[in-house]
């Protein structure tokens, strides 16, 4: 890797500046301050409930910071998206282990999701179809066949959805601050 000067590292990624509250702009860009505010605003209400184990909340906070740093490195939005999928899987495994008082969890994500579905922990929050889509997305990022680049909107939506699912596992039916 080529060593980058500080001036380059603190420059916003030009691709990020094209995302506005009205959508992707082909006509122009936001000013850097407005763009950073927009990127942060996409996830400003996302918070994990205090009932969620601290380790999960710390990992979630790191994913949120990755999303914000996508302002500087556009690819970080994709990394935040994929890390949220992996955090969800870890949360499901931890929830299963706590619920069944065991360290042994189902070996595959599909089996784990079946247990969660049968428990009803996510009823009214996520359908079987949505959980299958989550599994396919996670598999795509765990076993990539090529390069994927996602947007700040994609990243924010995955973070919001992930907060909702994780909070629901620990009894809170919201992914936003109260």
- Please say if the pLDDT value at position 178 is more than 50: no
Q: Confidence band (pLDDT; 50, 70, 90) for 37?
A: very high
Structure tokens at 53: 């184990």
Q: Which residues of 6-21 are buried (b: 16+ CB within 10 A; e: fewer)?
A: eeeeeebbebbbbbee
* Model confidence pLDDT, tens digit, residues 64-116: 999 999 999 999 999 999 999 999 999 999 999 999 998 888 888 889 998 88
The whole model's pTM is what?
0.92
DSSP annotation string for 93-121: HHHHHHHHT-S---SSHHHHHHHHHHHTT
| Cα gap 19→21, rounded to integer Å | 7
| Cα gap 164→158, rounded to integer Å | 10
Q: Which residues of 113-124 are buried (b: 16+ CB within 10 A; e: fewer)?
A: bebbbeeebbee
Structure tokens at 33: 């301050």
C-alpha distances in Å from residue 40, one per residue of 18, 74, 84, 86 = 15, 14, 16, 22
Which residues pair with residue 24 across a beta bridge? 19
* Model confidence pLDDT, tens digit, residues 120-159: 888 888 888 888 999 999 999 999 999 999 999 999 999 9
So what's the pLDDT on residue 175?
59
So what's the pLDDT on residue 177?
52
Consecutive H or E run containing 51: none
Q: What percent of the chain has pLDDT over 90?
A: 76
Q: Which residues of 136-145 are buried (b: 16+ CB within 10 A; e: fewer)?
A: ebbeebeeee
- Please say if the pLDDT value at position 41 is more than 90: yes
């Amino acid at each position: 890797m080529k060593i980058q000067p500080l001036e380059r590292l603190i420059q916003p990624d030009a691709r990020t500046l094209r995302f506005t509250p009205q959508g992707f702009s082909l006509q122009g860009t936001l000013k850097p301050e407005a763009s950073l505010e927009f990127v942060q605003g996409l996830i400003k209400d996302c918070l994990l409930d205090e009932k969620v184990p601290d380790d999960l909340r710390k990992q979630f906070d790191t994913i949120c910071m990755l999303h914000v740093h996508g302002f500087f490195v556009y690819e970080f939005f994709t990394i935040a998206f994929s890390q949220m999928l992996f955090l969800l899987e870890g949360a499901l495994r931890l929830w299963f282990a706590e619920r069944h008082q065991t360290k042994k969890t189902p070996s595959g994500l599909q089996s784990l999701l079946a247990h969660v579905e049968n428990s009803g922990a996510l009823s009214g929050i996520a359908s079987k179809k949505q959980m299958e889509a989550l599994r396919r997305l996670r598999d795509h990022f765990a076993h990539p066949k090529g390069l994927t680049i996602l947007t700040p909107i994609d990243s924010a939506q995955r973070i919001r959805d992930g907060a909702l699912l994780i909070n629901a596992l620990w009894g809170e039916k919201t992914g936003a601050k109260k």
